Structure 1
């Protein structure tokens, strides 16, 4: 039962005997288990080393079992630490292996995938293997408005962190705005900027997929899968730079608490959308307000911020940490 903690069956038998009958000498343990004195002593020494037993002074030495709640818990923590350290070693070996392979064959750095079916299959495969985080740049045009893919939803259900920066134009498309609202509700962290540099999906910082070509209808015809490398690191740094400047979308995605104490949640959301450069129709749709109400609120916030335009109002709100 204790083998996962590094305690073999014989040593566990010794520990069980000490729990029932302590203290005991090595010869008494040997008699109790029906084994040689040398074998009993080796088991006792392993228990002492593992922190599951202590030895009293004197001759002959007598052994006592440690409290299982303390001893086994400490051993469990030590094993977890060893596993984590091993995982770090594995990552180092993997990185070294990939670096060597890239030096010997640079074609392994980038793989070109052609055709919509093959591309969708590759992205779904990468998402299925995501363990820690998925990053994405996203922008129109799109093929359809069917909503988040099953693969993306499954990633969120598994608890993988997902962060995405969208081109603000997405919120001008009702179907895709609804889709974005839904996926944010599932846990995605979404932000918008006036324009993204490219479309991209990155999984665990090790694989990035970027389009090489695209039709006007939005169908990707050729992509490049960039594997773990400095190029992949650069794409991540590009994402992080945009993420810092981007504006959270939807009230549930906006920072809670903090900010200006006199701002309502709707006003905070409005300032965020203004900073993202959304058009009036998109703002009205996201906030569920009329054109007249929107104009009144924009005029009020602009005056309070001392701004000369709606976009400047959003930018001022960010600088003053109102949002």
Structure 2
């Protein structure tokens, strides 16, 4: 059966854009952008059967008209909605839909999603979700869409004495070149131990060439030998990481790492945690070309036209370059012709000497 329509959410506080922070003037009345925070869990997570968490969502009307903006979100396994006002389950598992807001041109507002994280969710890490927005103008054909992922970040655990684990954030710049994942496995016990780490990456993110001491278990998992970790010391492992364009557009994402110490004597110690994966491509402003819906994260649909005679910005640039090149060629030919004419004409004849008197 079709779920009932969710109630209208309360109007979030509208926050005007900071002076000088606005993007270039949009070319369409349609335009929307969404950004998210992360679901970050503290050490208390390990001591509770379920943990309340929040997710900050910011929506920006990047169009030139007042728009109706609808929001929906998808939660990963182990997370459920904790009673976000104005939002309700959308039918399929993990999907939720909220009512609509009306936002003026250029308006930016924030809302908070209230979530519950199960005490067993850590077993499924890495975990990521996504938030989607759809904007339209009543009476105007087309709509604008945007989406952004969010990471669920677990602290190292379940807590075990004698071992420490840490992982840096992975960042992909606008060029999309490979990033680096840095891991640190610490032996806080009193006995030397053999160290090992295993990394789990989300879909579209891989280790292209495992370094010495590491081996690819499968496409998503890489295992590395950290060597003998002396008591009171920390071993560091660095892995090259690359992501597909689609994975970068879906960022922020999360990965997971499992750290293990096998001491010379005593039981094996093992903990795991998650780390954040971000990409500059995910921050690109979406481009709108009504009436066709926009692609997420700034992708312009193929063949999309603009107001300038049906040409895209790339096509306009190409036409300008062709015209300038043609003018330069004509100018060069004119100068060359003039120079040749002067050369063939030779110097003017000397005046004849006057006859002697």
TM-score between both structures, scaled by the size of structure 1: 0.23
TM-score between both structures, scaled by the size of structure 2: 0.21
Q: Greater helix share, 1 or 2?
A: 1
